[in-house]
Structure 1
């Protein structure tokens, strides 16, 4: 009797997977570069919609970010790297860029399919990509304002003060959601690529992932974790401001004097 696919229990044809599951994984891997571009557009569009124009009141609103799309992009990158590393031999170099990594991984899925834990990686990447597409804000008149406690994506039109979760039907106040997202931005932990998106779309200055890596080499910023390297947004802002001066439109944090 032939071995069964660890996903849907039909006869396996490639390692621990059947032909259908290998095809699904291959298609999902190749979707990643395009999905990340769409998520980047969603994040940027959200910033344009929520950042006040000249003469607007206050600078805090400029920190509003579509964290749902940003979190989705981070998870997609994480799971693609995880699947890719199932195929790596000792000491073998792995592409860094997502486009190169996706193409490289797609050519090596037969090796990944032989891994005993491929079921978890398969569901992880497929699920992350599906969530990513749900986070893409395709309608120009709508905006993503956050994520429900149940995980549902909360999106609404510009003029609505309340939004209902499409999954669990719980109502949320839009203003409260946007304020929470603004407060969370400084503590958000992202990759160098994520910092680049945040600085460009929200803080309105150019910061490349390569510059962030140079900061690491010069010990100008500390990583929160390695493989992949991640950084706290507040640390990146502090490094930028120490090198270039205060960011425009950003309210300086007040520090209480000791008693």
Structure 2
């Protein structure tokens, strides 16, 4: 039997309410939330701030008005934890628990999409998941006062003060001696595959102009100076270490 996806109206080969493509998009949305949860929480806790004149160009403007970062974090966390509790109740299983409710709920929901796509509430759930991703990106994408140290063995990004000797991983609670572990952390970071936008965001946190870096990555790729390795959200991804190396080379050339 076939049916029509209630989200994108595509025909599909089974009777689910959401098609595989929409389900894949929801999965990527949830993975993005997991990856940005630390940065979003830092913003809510006042560990990061906007610099003068900072603005994003590829997504909606950050939430203005009377909604503080902490309020936004509470709202998006409540959205995902509510869906997690609903699904757990429907399936007769325990809801997820963890030290970071936002990341925990997002990570668990990503494992439930195969069931969720067959439920009448799939369209509503996928829409709210996409909204959580958009709001998490807006919340997390602030140039921080913290610096990027590297990537933990668990895969989480690690931030800390520029002069910190030891930094904790907020995902697995492992503590890293920055001086002793710098090579390990940096190698893991260099091997990350990111889009031009993601590379530009990380570069901005190191003091670079975000728009300029994003344009440079696009130019390098077009010239064959930076090789793509796969895709994410329909955009090509590049090895972060290769992009940063080119950026450092360009800075040396300009200085010379």
Coarse TM-score class (shorter-chain normalised): 0.3 to 0.5
State the structure with more CA Rg: 1
Q: TM-score, normalised by structure 1?
A: 0.41
Q: TM-score, normalised by structure 2?
A: 0.42
